[in-house]
C-alpha cells in the first residue's frame, strides 16, 4: 500500500474505510438477494426454506 499511496495519493485510513464498506456490502448482500427473490417470485417462508443451505 505505501507505493500505491505514494503514486495515487490518499491515506491508509481512507483505504481501510473503503475496505470496510466492501465488507459490509458483502455481509449484507445475501439477505438483500434472498429478500429480492422472495418478493419477486412472491414466495412464502416455507418456499424460501430451499435457501436455508445458503446460511451455512
Three-state SS string over the chain comes to: CHHHHHHHCCCHHHHHHHHHHHHHHHHHHHHHHHHHHHHHCCCCHHHHHHHHHHHC
Domain map (residue ranges) of the chain: 2-55
Chain segment 14-54, per-residue pLDDT in tens: 999 999 999 999 999 999 999 999 999 999 999 999 988 87
Chain segment 40-50, per-residue pLDDT in tens: 999 999 999 99
Res 55: pLDDT? 65
Indicate the pTM of the whole model: 0.67
Kindly give, in sequence order, each residue whose CB lies less than 8 Å from that of residue 10, ignoring residues fewer than 6 positions away: 4
CA distance 28 to 19: 14
Amino acid at each position: 500500500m505505501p507505493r500505491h499511496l505514494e503514486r495515487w495519493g490518499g491515506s491508509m485510513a481512507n483505504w481501510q474505510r473503503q475496505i470496510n464498506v466492501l465488507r459490509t456490502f458483502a455481509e449484507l448482500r445475501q439477505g438483500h438477494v434472498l429478500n429480492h427473490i422472495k418478493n419477486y417470485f412472491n414466495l412464502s417462508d416455507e418456499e424460501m426454506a430451499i435457501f436455508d443451505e445458503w446460511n451455512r
